[in-house]
Structure 1
């Protein structure tokens, strides 16, 4: 039965968020929290509806996919002998330390769950394609799908839940979701065309997503910033934590979700050494104490770093929010289309020169953020106006 909440004499309308559930990624948890807080600030009662992901690919294996696939997306003949040996050593290390990896990953999941329990209001029930409560559509005034890669066919396996098909069309709203890819596979195109056509309001996180929607449905979708960018630096500091294992000296922070090459690691170490910095690898299984940091500590590591090297969308987002110099690498091992989100982000804030292949090495620590504030304010206004308009 729907709970009625009254504030200042008015009955609060209720929103259910549908996003990727799971406790495996900082960006996932932080975008969920941010969207919740933004919707609450607009006067709504908000909760995240848990989706049963038992049969979905959220990479729950204790060993990262990039270490289970040997030369994915890379040809052996194109690799230096040193790179081949490095790959072999990495795989052997993962096999030898399998138990420690499992323990570290479980510790990380535990801490991300604790963050969700503290900061995100989640339903006590789960839904799935086979199990949708009959009265679900009547328990909420609106449903919002997003942000994250909720429309990535590799993640949702053609599930219509993430397109809110269990609710009347007028209640279906998309806030800045990502497809994660540049083209929808042919076998999914008809279903995606139907589901997207039935959405009351459409927006996406990257230009490639807007192109997909235009090509499938003929509709125009607004490209809006990720919800993490809708909260201010001060908002994030409220939930930030001093990292337990933060070094006492200044440090260079790396946050890579894709594969690492030996050459890339060598160059980063050279830059750190030349600038008297310690290298802190935040997503490296070989550093289990930092690998299992919680989302609050993730923010803390970003805030205190001297420079950030990353292939992560949210690594870039928080570098921008805290006005830190950062360097972006293309992600290895998951396909180049994964980089479209970062390309849109950098283009929006006129930071395309922060990509490794075009960045002058003498400008790594030099980044003028004076132009960012007005752009961010404009993008925030555009996003809030979209939400106000669709939720009116």
Structure 2
């Protein structure tokens, strides 16, 4: 059986890279012939490529002539992007043909027995990506190929608006709909009158012993994986945490002023290793939260508005909403409760949901 996966795989983001790798790896472990369809919408590819441009012309301080200088920030982006690309090419199989537009995707209309869309926020129509019918598999033939989703998400989209009729028409062509969060399940039910089942993000489905690269950091450290500006009270909390346990502050993926060690261009393997060895993790991201749980780490989540529904939904499923940053959480520093998570009971829930998610995915592939 040949399976194609359509997801976000060409981006400068650890979570997106690892979820694509995890879904491919799990299906490969089940002896399927599986590949990721190498689709990179030109509009999105350009947004990521533009940030990588390392060269700009600036006036020299010594003369009026313009000289070419290398943008240091862009060099960091280039290094990280290259490492992610190398990781992906080393650990998954991409389709032989690569397309940048929807028209080209029609080549794959009958090339697979099953096409899976997901995971990640591929159905979020309110982001800078906008609505793209390709991620609802409009190019796939209903006669030759089964359409299913796995852990697909609408992200912070709550209403389909003017795209409702077209999206629901496409959704109704899916044999099985597996989503990542309650918001996505409710949209499918309320706006498309279809049943969707909630499953775990694919990063939960595999083990990371062979993928992680432990850091060469001698001291205990607090890991920051943050994708937004840290607010004053959040910075105060981080400093107090570090001082309480004598922790070195390490930031990955982004340079933070309060960190003693900044690893902006870490590879995905280094990113995994940093999470696996951290004494404490502070994040405001979905996958930072996921890997904190995978490696049984005490953690705190700063909850940004644009990610609140998916992160809160994840934490609620595992009884961990108390890990969200709050005044109550700060007070726990004084009695050390903040460093203790009952991972024995949490791990039981995780293992149960992993088995359930795998079951739903395999059944979706085999039905028909």
CA distance in 1, matches of 2:110, 2:173: 18
Unaligned runs of 5+ in 2: 53-68
Cα contact 2:3–2:34 (8 A) shared by 1: yes
Cα contact 2:21–2:92 (8 A) shared by 1: yes
Per-residue deviation, residues 130-154 of structure 1 (Å, max 9, x unmatched): 22344x2322110000101111112
Pick from 23, 38, 42 the counterpart of residue 54 of structure 1: 42
CA distance in 1, matches of 2:152, 2:194: 16
CA distance in 1, matches of 2:359, 2:198: 13
1:88 aligned residue? none
CA distance in 1, matches of 2:134, 2:249: 42
Deviation at 1:340, TM superposition (A): 1.4
1:292 aligned residue? 265
> Which secondary structure does the structure 1 equivalent of 2:250 belong to?
strand
Deviation at 1:354, TM superposition (A): 0.8
Per-residue deviation, residues 50-83 of structure 1 (Å, max 9, x unmatched): 11221137852539xxxxxxxxxxxxxxxxxxxx
Deviation at 1:157, TM superposition (A): 2.4
- When normalised by structure 1's length, the TM-score is 0.81
Alignment of 1:287-366 (within 5 A): 290-331=263-304, 336-357=305-326, 358-359=328-329, 360-361=332-333, 362-366=336-340
- When normalised by structure 2's length, the TM-score is 0.86
> Are 2:147 and 1:172 equivalent residues in the alignment?
yes
> Which secondary structure does the structure 2 equivalent of 1:167 belong to?
coil
1:104 aligned residue? 76
Cα contact 2:121–2:154 (8 A) shared by 1: yes
Per-residue deviation, residues 270-323 of structure 1 (Å, max 9, x unmatched): 220121111111132358961100010001101111000001111111111110
Residues 184 and 279 of structure 1: CA distance in aligned 2, closer, same or farther (over 3 Å): same
CA distance in 2, matches of 1:132, 1:50: 9
Pick from 155, 159, 164 the counterpart of residue 132 of structure 2: 159
Deviation at 1:258, TM superposition (A): 2.3
Deviation at 1:375, TM superposition (A): 1.0
* Length, aligned pairs only: 337
> Which secondary structure does the structure 1 equivalent of 2:109 belong to?
helix
Of structures 1 and 2, the one with the larger relative CO (CA 8 A, separation 6+) is 1
2:360 aligned residue? 386
Runs of 4+ deviating beyond 6 Å: none
CA distance in 2, matches of 1:183, 1:324: 32
> Are 2:92 and 1:124 equivalent residues in the alignment?
no
Residues 114 and 184 of structure 1: CA distance in aligned 2, closer, same or farther (over 3 Å): same
Pick from 11, 25, 29 the counterpart of residue 17 of structure 2: 29
2:116 aligned residue? 144
Deviation at 1:179, TM superposition (A): 1.0
Pick from 259, 269, 272 the counterpart of residue 242 of structure 2: 272
Cα contact 1:56–1:157 (8 A) shared by 2: no
CA distance in 2, matches of 1:311, 1:373: 22
CA distance in 2, matches of 1:155, 1:53: 12
Q: CA RMSD in A?
A: 2.1
Cα contact 1:178–1:205 (8 A) shared by 2: yes
CA distance in 1, matches of 2:81, 2:253: 13
Deviation at 1:366, TM superposition (A): 1.1
1:220 aligned residue? 195
Unaligned runs of 5+ in 1: 1-12, 64-96
CA distance in 2, matches of 1:193, 1:162: 13
Cα contact 1:57–1:156 (8 A) shared by 2: no
Deviation at 1:155, TM superposition (A): 4.8
More strand by share: 2
2:66 aligned residue? none
Cα contact 2:155–2:310 (8 A) shared by 1: yes
